[in-house]
Amino acid sequence: MEERSLNFIEQIVEKDLQEGKNDGRIQTRFPPEPNGYLHIGHVKAICMDFGIAERYNGVCNLRFDDTNPVKEDVEYVDSIQQDIAWLGFRWGNIYYASDYFQQLYDLAIRFIKEGKAYVDEQTAEQIAEQKGTPTEPGTGSPYRNRPVEENLRLFQAMQNGDVEDGKMVLRAKIDMANPNMHFRDPIMYRIITTHPHHRTGRRWNVYPMYDFAHGQSDYFEGVTHSICTLEFVVHRPLYDWFIDQFADSEYRPHQYEFNRLNITYTVMSKRKMLQLVKEGLVAGWDDPRMPTVCGLRRRGYSPQAIRTFIDKIGYTKVEGMIDLGLLEHTVREDLKETAPRVCAIFEPVKLVITNYEGDGEVVSADYIDGHPELGSREMPFARELYIERGDFQEEGSKDFYRLSPGGREVRLKSAYIIQATGCDKDTDGRITTVYATYDPTSKSGTEGGSRKTKSTINWVECRSCVEAEARLYDRLFAVENPSADERDFRELLNPDSLKVTTCLVESALKKEKKRLPVQNGVHEQHHYQFLKHGYFVVDPDSNDDKLVFNRTASLKDNWQK
Ligand code: ATP
Ligand code: MG
């Protein structure tokens, strides 16, 4: 990969290293909540967190922020690990916020004893009403000055399961007039008894809130650079404050923030993606239209293409929106180098070469012209072929360079030069067969093969070609920014985001008629370029009976006006 300039966080890390901070130790973490599959926004954070550790000989741990059993599941824990490994990153350790539930609980007790936390019995609405506004101070809860003993007893009751969900919370007692709203007695703990936790089962009835869990977890683990997205800038003073209350050393983790990734014509929120999946508006988390890592994988994006894209967009401190076209451009550039080129005919019409007498001939063709080192295959050639209907015109015209009776010479890709002589039609006037003659001296790869024609057309041999299902994907949403629209995002889906059709592919692709191999829980990607049609990847739905391809990207950006 070409060397790029340092991003602003790398600059900070280099400065810290020069100044000998943390004895030269670099430790980051990637902290997903296991409540959904990873999306390409997460990949931006992953490339940052793991990238910093790799670049500066540090370590990046994977930490599951599993503090809300209502939404979390092991299915997500597993998929997150698979996706990170598939992207090519290696974590140091795997931790869970739930590893620290006891430590955090003990810390909460300490806060209560030091008069820094109290049990509030108000409803969520009452608490919200008292918060004030950024310019007006809030009002203290009537429970704010409870004696320590009572707070200890009630917090214990919350944990014992003696209090109903939502009836009490533990709040930090900080400052109801602080201009930073996050300091106005933030909630530290809530009660959740409705769902068992995927790791701790029924052991806990109280669960720490993000603000009380995240910074502490960073501190317990020895994180040096805690990198997240810009919406956490306003949380940072509280992050520091909580740690300052109990830290018993000079060491402090520091939080840094960069801009979230947003991409046009899609949504970048697990909550919304879950809705699409649950309501059957897409085929699953790995639907090739989804911006999830597994969706992009099934669509045919390689890890390298995704990482190159993240590298291209870079990291800043201002929110913005990235054009989906850039992501598609990146995958085209990636596949251009390596995807084998093959013939696939989408609207077939039969071509009969009337002067061809051969039998059992094969033409040999490199998968990528001029690159024999990238492999080649043999294509059976015969008197009867299928070509694209659009490659023949009965009338022809001055600027139609393909087949037309009495018209120009046209080369069959990697084979012979032919000239159309006529066609048959059915009673509706629809062309059923095209006739042509070939020049036996013009075979590609022979001396006559260098003769130039104005155009080359694709073909497959009738008896050996294979029928395949082609799933043609397009952008998921019809509007550029579904999240900023006043209509419900589910009404904004692009009705043409999937077209299922069939095509005839050359016999070399018979080898894909089987189950795709799976490695580390992830299916392999077998990429192709269907000449003139786009980049395609074998779908895991393929088996001995059927062959299914997903269109990864068209050859050109069809949306560019
Ligand atoms: P979502 O809103 O989709 O649920 P999240 O931020 O709640 O996302 P987490 O699992 O908490 O998801 O995120 C783990 C890490 O990934 C966090 O550090 C978060 O900042 C980062 N992250 C999430 N979404 C994006 C994004 N769109 N761009 C960059 N980083 C992101
Ligand atoms: Mg989150």
Q: Is 345-457 a domain of CATH 2.60.120.10?
A: no
**CATH superfamily assigned to domain 101-208:** Glutamyl-tRNA Synthetase; Domain 3 (3.90.800.10)
- At residue 561 the predicted structure's pLDDT band, cuts being 50, 70 and 90, is very low
Q: Which residues are catalytic?
A: 33, 260, 270
pTM: 0.95
Residue 139 CB–ligand 1 contact under 6 Å? no
pLDDT at 2 (0 to 100):
55
Residue 7 CB–ligand 1 contact under 6 Å? no
- To the nearest 10 degrees (0 to 180), the angle between helices 40-55 and 74-87 is 60
Cα 99 to middle of ligand 1, angstroms: 21
State which ligand 1 atom lies nearest to the alpha carbon of 269. 3
Closest CA to 85 of 27, 35, 38, 36: 38
CB 130 within 8 A of CB 139: yes
Task: Say yes or no to pLDDT of 388 above 60.
Answer: yes
pLDDT digits (tens, 9 = 90+) for 400-448: 999 999 878 999 999 999 999 999 999 999 999 999 999 999 999 998 8
pLDDT digits (tens, 9 = 90+) for 212-267: 999 999 999 999 999 999 999 999 999 999 999 999 999 999 999 999 999 999 99
pLDDT digits (tens, 9 = 90+) for 483-518: 999 999 999 999 999 999 999 999 999 999 999 999
Q: Is 260-343+463-561 a domain of CATH 1.10.1160.10?
A: yes
pLDDT digits (tens, 9 = 90+) for 76-128: 999 999 999 999 999 999 999 999 999 999 999 999 999 999 999 999 999 99
Q: Which H or E run includes 422?
A: strand 417-425
Cα 476 to middle of ligand 1, angstroms: 20
pLDDT at 41 (0 to 100):
98
Mean pLDDT for 326-344 is: 97
Interatomic CA distance for residues 542 and 468, integer angstroms: 9
Burial of 491 (0-12, 13-18, 19+ CB in 10 A): exposed
Which of 9, 37, 38, 42, when mutated, tests ligand 1's pocket best, judged by the most ligand atoms within 8 Å of its CB? 42
Interatomic CA distance for residues 338 and 314, integer angstroms: 25
Mean of pLDDT over the chain = 96
Residues in contact with 161: Cβ distance below 8 Å, sequence separation at least 6, in sequence order: 193, 205
Cα 8 to middle of ligand 1, angstroms: 19
Task: List C-alpha distances in Å: 196 to 68, 161, 192, 199.
Answer: 10, 13, 9, 8
Q: Which two tokens stand for residue 66?
A: 């599993």
Give the start-to-end residue ranges of the domains of the chain: 101-208, 260-343+463-561, 345-457
Residue 260 CB–ligand 1 contact under 6 Å? yes
pLDDT digits (tens, 9 = 90+) for 130-185: 999 999 999 999 999 999 999 999 999 999 999 999 999 999 999 999 999 999 99
Residue 269 CB–ligand 1 contact under 6 Å? yes
Residues in contact with 436: Cβ distance below 8 Å, sequence separation at least 6, in sequence order: 351, 352, 353, 354, 403, 418, 419, 420, 421
